Amino acid sequence: MALTKVEKRIRIKRRVRGKISGSASLPRLSVFKSNKEIYAQLVDDKEGKTLVAASSREKGVDAKGTKTEVSAAVGKAIAAKAKAAGIENVVFDRNGFVYHGRVKALADGAREAGLKF
């Protein structure tokens, strides 16, 4: 039987998470998207803590425009919060989603605002 879209994503996610992990000096930028919203967080996997988080549901994020434009704004917001926390370099975790569309827009927005990955 063929795998569903979600099962495929979770299988890819497990494979990728076996190879990358975040630390306090080099956190993991994890992205999750639902049909309406997009979320990003910087995670220290060694301590099991979220260092910084941003989403399209926050008041500080400009949630006007297309979903791709909102994703770019979330990328800029996570980069600004990371800079304030003293974080410049991260490891990007697309969480099994295809690096295209909203995920790519978030990554480009974060890079544009100064995060390196």
Split into its structural domains, the chain has a count of 1
| Percent over 90 (pLDDT), the chain | 85
Answer whether residue 2 is part of any domain.
no
Answer whether residue 48 is part of any domain.
yes
Query: What gap in Å lies between CA 42 and CA 88, rounded to an integer?
Result: 11
Answer whether residue 1 is part of any domain.
no
CATH number at residue 53: 3.30.420.100
pLDDT digits (tens, 9 = 90+) for 20-70: 988 888 999 999 999 999 999 999 999 999 999 999 999 878 778 899 999
How far is residue 31 from each of residues 12, 59, 61, 63, measured CA to CA in Å? 14, 19, 16, 17
What pLDDT sits at residue 69? Answer: 94
* Domain extent at residue 76: 25-111
Answer whether residue 6 is part of any domain.
no
Q: Are 13 and 100 in contact (CB under 8 A)?
A: no
Q: What is the pTM of this model?
A: 0.91
What pLDDT sits at residue 33? Answer: 96
Please report the beta strands in 38-111, taking only residues with DSSP state E, as ranges in sequence order.
38-44, 49-55, 91-93
Burial classification of residue 25, based on how many CB atoms lie within 10 Å of its CB (0-12 exposed, 13-18 middle, 19 or more buried): exposed
Answer whether residue 3 is part of any domain.
no
